[in-house]
Amino acid sequence: MARISIKDLQKTFGAHRAVDGISLEIRDGEFLIIVGPSGCGKTTTLNMISGLERPTGGQIVIGDTLVNDLEPGERGLGMVFQDLALFPHMTVFENIAFGLRVKKMPDAEVRRRVAAAAAAVHIEALLEKFPRQCSGGESQRVALARTIVTDPSVFLMDEPLSSLDAKLRVDMRTELKSLHHRLGATFVYVTHDQAEAMTMADRIVVMSKGRIEQVGSPLDIYNRPATRFVAGFFGMPTMNFVEGAVVASGDRRSFRADDVEHPLPAAVPAALAGREAVLGVRSEHVLVGDGASLKGVAQLSEPLGDTTLVHFDIGKGRRLVAKVGPTAAIEPGEALTFQFAAEFCHLFDVHNGARLY
Amino acid sequence: MKTAASAMSPEQARVRRIRRERRNRIVRHAVLLAWTGFIAFPIYWMVMTSFKDSGEWVTWPPHWVPHAPTLHNYAQIFAFSSIDPSLSRQAAEQAFTIWKGLGDSLLVCTTAALLALLLGTFLAYSISRFNVGGKYFRHTILTIRMIPPIVIAISILIYYAILIPYATGAVFGARISMFDTYIGLILIYTVTTLPFVIWMMLTFIDEVPYTLEHAARLMGAGRFTVIRRVVLPLVASGMVVTFLFVFILNWAEFLLALTLTHPEVTTLTVLLNKFQSASEGRLYGPQAAIGTMITIPVVVLGILIQKHLVKGFSFGTIRR
Ligand SMILES: Nc1ncnc2c1ncn2[C@@H]1O[C@H](COP(=O)(O)OP(=O)(O)O)[C@@H](O)[C@H]1O
Ligand SMILES: [Mg+2]
């Protein structure tokens, strides 16, 4: 059983809390992605699961075994490292075979399994080469094969694609996803790239400053971010945030920031009226054009091909970004009108960033 | 003059700069050449003297090259048995063959260098990986090496010749002296060269990414297997370089050997010194011949190391 259960895991380096009490249930066979900005404790968390780093506090249970005191090699895990960590003095074959040789497996069996692992990631032709003779993408596959060959029930991956160029990185996403499907093993994958997380994960864990901000499916996290941090972390361009207050207008609530007022959905509870809040709305939910009543001045327009991003000013130094159709021609300096798609507005606490609605 | 300089055209300024650079280069090379001559002259004189017969050792005006070149000095120092009477000037010559010194030097230098390499590599590993001794320990180690040997020579002599025999005599009833023993000299060489080994091996081990070891451990390798299969193969060329370097240090060491041995253990540098105090007079020729023979391996190993150092430090095999 490749279920991993983490309870109140902590790691401190001196006075610095790198991982500050996280609890998490990793399900058997899922593709779980831990995502967060650099330095938020992702690698430290993964290293504690693998056993390379000793927790300062908390428990890690793999299957039904408390593994806190087990050696890394005794946990039945495989890991792909950020810098790949291929052994430079061994051929690709010996790199892949290393884990089997350590277990004193008979030579014929080693050959059979290395060949199978190499075939799984299409590197049969590389076996006699040395790592320095392999390209970035090939090295990547070697590192994968080296992990696959030991047949672990859990794969840990620490930013395995970060050394690849953009195009290859996108191709490898698809390949990793299908590899996960074929192997049926549990993948725990760490990245700082929100797009990577969105495209591959069954579930996403968002971390910030050593803590978990939110756990959920990619769409959950995108559509109902639990905190302002999560809301800002996912999506390109970054979500628009406007500071202001919730006010009552008749039997509905609306959002007011100085002289800008915008109605909120009917479901926003009455208790929020009068409260300071941050309104969050994604650029694709900012509607520019006819019928809108709020006014802004366009500053910059960025054509992306399929869409165009319009940056505009709504006074008091507030700038918003709207995603408009590729044919909309909006010149800098041009006055425009806009409104928000009310059902896609998010409200966050001004101080701790928690979701209010 | 200030105005003249500022009025100079760019072309003039360029010519001036080129002239100044050329002048600097000439001065620099002249200084270096003079220094090289200063350093190399005694070696030249030694090699020349080793091919001179006794009549030519001290002459005025000096003979820059031997007028009657001879291999007599070499025949004498490499003699296995009593040499041809026609060649032999003095009966005492037999005492000055190279063999005893060569044997002792090889034994002491090799053993001490291997011991220092073994200890130093593991110490360097723990400093590199576990920060043993704290952040600045590696620098502290290097400062130990700044203590001149003369400062410790006498106190070590007191330990070796007086305190240790006395203590063992009192405790075990048998006086065990470390003075004039192979073990005594090997130990002191091991200790004095250990800082170099640690420092050099640190640079090599630091070059091996720690994640290589992490990867190996996750694949089920124990600490010992990781060191044997991953770390050692990657620092092997560094270990060879370090061994040769330390071997040269030991090979050329004189002060400690002179202080801590006599008459039994005789390293080459100490043997060399004996010619001067010999009651038969000063045997410059054989002395120069031995000096030349001691120098040759140092030069050869030096050249070897130079090649390896470049390869060792840039490492070749590690790709980041
Ligand atoms: N061995 C260590 N000693 C001291 N601080 C460390 C160590 N490892 C990591 N840290 C610190 O812990 C924090 C989290 O690091 P890490 O888990 O590597 O972050 P991430 O992988 O999310 O970028 C960082 O602030 C980092 O500086
Ligand atoms: Mg990291």
**Same fold: A4-233 with A240-349:** no
Task: Return the domain boundaries, chain A.
Answer: 4-233, 240-349
Which pLDDT does position B314 carry in this prediction? 47
A81 touches chain B (CB under 8 A): yes
What is the predicted pLDDT for the residue at B95?
60
**Dihedral angle, C-alpha A251, A257, A258, A264, nearest 10 °:** -20
Neighbouring-strand partners of residue A60: A6
Q: Which two tokens stand for residue B14?
A: 């360029």
Residues on chain A touching B218 (C-beta within 8 angstroms) = 50-52, 72-73, 77-79
- Mean pLDDT over residues A36-64, rounded? 94
How far is it, in rounded angstroms, from Cα A179 to Cα B176? 70
Q: How far apart are CA B258 and CA B279, in angstroms?
A: 19
* pLDDT given for residue B81 in this prediction: 62
Which residues from chain A sit within 8 angstroms of residue B229, using beta carbons? Answer: 98
pLDDT value at A244 more than 60: yes
A81 and B317 in contact by Cβ < 8 A?
no
Q: Which residues contact B132 (CB under 8 A, 6 or more apart)?
A: B123, B126
For residue A141, the model assigns a pLDDT of: 93
3-class secondary-structure state, position A172: helix
Could you confirm whether domain A4-233 is CATH 3.40.50.720?
A: no
Read off the pLDDT of residues A259-316 as tens digits, 9 standing for 90 and up: 888 989 888 888 888 899 999 999 999 999 877 888 899 999 999 889 999 999 988 8
Chain A residue numbers touching B315 (CB-CB < 8 A): none
Instruction: Return contacts of B159-168, CB within 8 angstroms, 24+ apart.
Output: B160/B184, B160/B260
Give just the sign of the alpha carbon dihedral B215, B220, B223, B224: negative
Closest-CA residue of A relative to B236 is A89
Q: How far is B264 from B180, CA to CA, in rounded Å?
A: 6
Q: Which CATH number fits domain A240-349: 3.90.79.10, 1.10.3720.10, 2.120.10.30, 2.40.50.140?
A: 2.40.50.140
Residue of A46, A77, A80, A81 to mutate for B, most B C-beta atoms under 10 A: A81
pLDDT at B83: 52
* pLDDT tens over chain B, length 320 residues: 455 555 678 889 999 999 999 999 999 999 999 999 999 999 999 999 999 988 888 888 888 889 989 998 898 888 766 555 555 555 444 566 788 899 999 999 999 999 999 999 999 999 999 988 888 888 888 888 788 888 889 999 999 999 999 999 999 988 889 999 999 999 999 999 999 999 999 989 999 999 999 999 999 999 899 999 999 999 998 899 899 999 999 999 999 999 999 888 989 999 888 775 444 467 888 889 999 999 999 888 888 887 666 654 444 444 33
pLDDT of residue B278: 47
Whether chain B has a CB inside 8 Å of the CB on A70: the answer is no
Residue for token pair 């017969």: B53
Q: Which residue from A156, A204, A210 is spatially nearest to A9, judged by alpha carbons?
A: A210
For β-strands A186-191 and A154-158, DSSP reports them as parallel
Which token pair is B173?
A: 């009833």
Task: Output the CA–CA distances (angstroms, integers) from residue A222 to A197, A218, A227, A235, A350, in the order listed.
Answer: 11, 6, 11, 7, 20
What does the pLDDT look like over A170-223, one tens digit per residue?
Answer: 999 999 999 999 999 999 999 999 999 999 999 999 999 999 999 999 999 999
Neighbours of A228 (CB within 10 A): 22
Residue closest to A224 by CA, chosen among A104, A48, A356: A356
CB A46 within 8 A of CB A18: no
Q: Residue A37 — pLDDT band, cuts 50, 70, 90?
A: very high
What's the CA gap between B316 and B320, in Å, rounded?
A: 11
What is the number of residues in chain A? 357
Q: How remote is the C-alpha of A190 from its chain's centroid?
A: 7
For A53, the token pair is 């780093």
pLDDT in tens, A139-154: 999 999 999 999 999 9
User: B195 CA to chain A: closest CA distance, Å?
Assistant: 28
Q: What does the alpha-carbon distance between residue A188 and residue A124 come to, in Å, rounded to a whole number? A: 26
Specify the residue with its C-alpha closest to ligand 1, atom 11: A18
Instruction: Answer yes or no: is the ipTM higher than 0.85.
Output: no
**What do you get for the CA distance between the two ends of chain A, in Å?**
38
pLDDT of residue B82: 56
> Which tokens belong to A183?
């192997």
What are the distances in angstroms from CA A81 to CA A31, A39, A78, A124?
Answer: 17, 16, 10, 22
CB contact under 8 A, B220 and A150: yes
pLDDT value at position A7?
96
How high is the mean pLDDT of chain A?
Answer: 92
Statement: residue A133 has pLDDT above 50: yes
